[in-house]
Amino acid sequence: MTAAVEARGVVKSYQAHRALDGVDLTVPTGTVLGLLGPNGAGKTTMVRVLTTLLRPDAGDVRVAGYDVVTQSADVRRSIGLSGQYAAVDESLTGYENLYLVGRLYGFKAAAARDRARELLALFRLEQAASRLLRTYSGGMRRRLDLAGALVARPPVVVLDEPTTGLDPRSRLDTWEMVRRLVDDGASVLLTTQYLEEADVLADSIVVIDRGRVVERGTSDELKARVGSERLEIVVADRADLPELVRVLTEVGAAEPVVDDHLRRAHVLVHVGPKTLVEALNRLDARDVRVLDVSLHRPKLDDVFLMLTDRADEGEDS
Ligand SMILES: Nc1ncnc2c1ncn2[C@@H]1O[C@H](COP(=O)(O)OP(=O)(O)OP(=O)(O)O)[C@@H](O)[C@H]1O
Ligand SMILES: [Mg+2]
């Protein structure tokens, strides 16, 4: 079956700044992909490329089987978008906003009215239906924006940080909503800064930082990484750093990260104490003098920090 979203080698620059630097991702039909990354990672840029609001400089992007550049009208017909640059009208009521979206999608008046009412009920906005949007709270506004994305029952839904700024109750409502969408057969790509959110909602997760994919996997795979530890070793002589990196590559569960300045390198490992001993034995056998060794057990959020931190260090060195 055609994937809901298929992106290969996406590059997008703003003048000299490369916001996306070769991103690959796939959203299999009927699944949720969580696109995770810190501020400035390129999440919104990716969303804009997927939704035809921005044209990629390079790469191949298909949404619902349509090419975003050559078949942009078909792509737009296939997606619902909710996000950081919400197109809602402050001087209209909640109901009017949704009704208008329906009309824009070509609904007859009665159908647009019914769909608007249905969505207002779904998002617990019935009480506020006839209030002007400018009187809505931030959370109500986001819910309305999300409702707007669903008016035309799009097969592919793209949500840019759907729960940022929401209170816990509204966040849970939104999660529930996303699950219901998927149950009804939609495919979802959502961006988030919260590992927890991706963990709860996403079938698969792609972590990006500075326009590059730094990690990908199922939530279970990322969770497994939460359980892993970080082995850090400082060598006495800077000249031994390459040897240290070789050893950490041999014993580690991921690419080691080097801090040249501090004569230090670290790597994610699965069984900390055992790997630590193994690493020290190997270093000893190669006459590398070790100054300091430490083992850290990362917390949930650390995984995310670690992944994005690693990309930072990669860029600096
Ligand atoms: N219109 C623009 N002109 C120039 N640079 C831009 C523009 N939009 C975004 N950028 C830059 O591109 C990079 C990626 O931005 P983007 O908005 O995609 O990040 P993001 O992951 O959505 O961040 P956030 O979590 O803050 O929403 C950032 O460095 C940003 O400053
Ligand atoms: Mg953004």
| pLDDT at res. 302 | 58
Residue 305 lies in a domain: no
Residue 24 shares a structural domain with residue 169: yes
Could you tell me if the CB of 47 is within 6 A of ligand 1?
no
pLDDT > 90 fraction of the chain, expressed in percent and rounded: 56
Residue 242 shares a structural domain with residue 215: no
Interval 238-251: pLDDT, tens: 999 999 999 999 99
Could you tell me if the CB of 42 is within 6 A of ligand 1?
yes
| pLDDT at res. 315 | 43
- Please give the distance, rounded to the nearest whole angstrom, from the Cα atom of residue 98 to the centre of ligand 2: 24
**CA terminus-to-terminus distance, the chain:** 42
Number of H helices, E strands in the chain: 11, 14
Residue 313 lies in a domain: no
- Please give the distance, rounded to the nearest whole angstrom, from the Cα atom of residue 99 to the centre of ligand 2: 27
Predicted confidence band at 230 (pLDDT cuts at 50, 70, 90)?
confident
- Asked if residue 18 lies in contact with residue 75, where contact means CB atoms within 8 angstroms, the answer is no
Q: If you take atom 2 of ligand 1, which residue's CA is the nearest one?
A: 14
| pLDDT at res. 31 | 95
- Please give the distance, rounded to the nearest whole angstrom, from the Cα atom of residue 44 to the centre of ligand 1: 7
Number of domains in the chain: 2
Interval 186-224: pLDDT, tens: 999 999 988 788 888 999 999 999 999 988 998 778 766
Residue 306 lies in a domain: no
Q: What are phi and psi of 228, to 5 degrees?
A: -80, 170
Could you tell me if the CB of 43 is within 6 A of ligand 1?
yes
Interval 59-118: pLDDT, tens: 999 999 999 999 999 998 899 887 654 567 889 999 999 999 899 888 999 999 999 999
Predicted confidence band at 308 (pLDDT cuts at 50, 70, 90)?
low
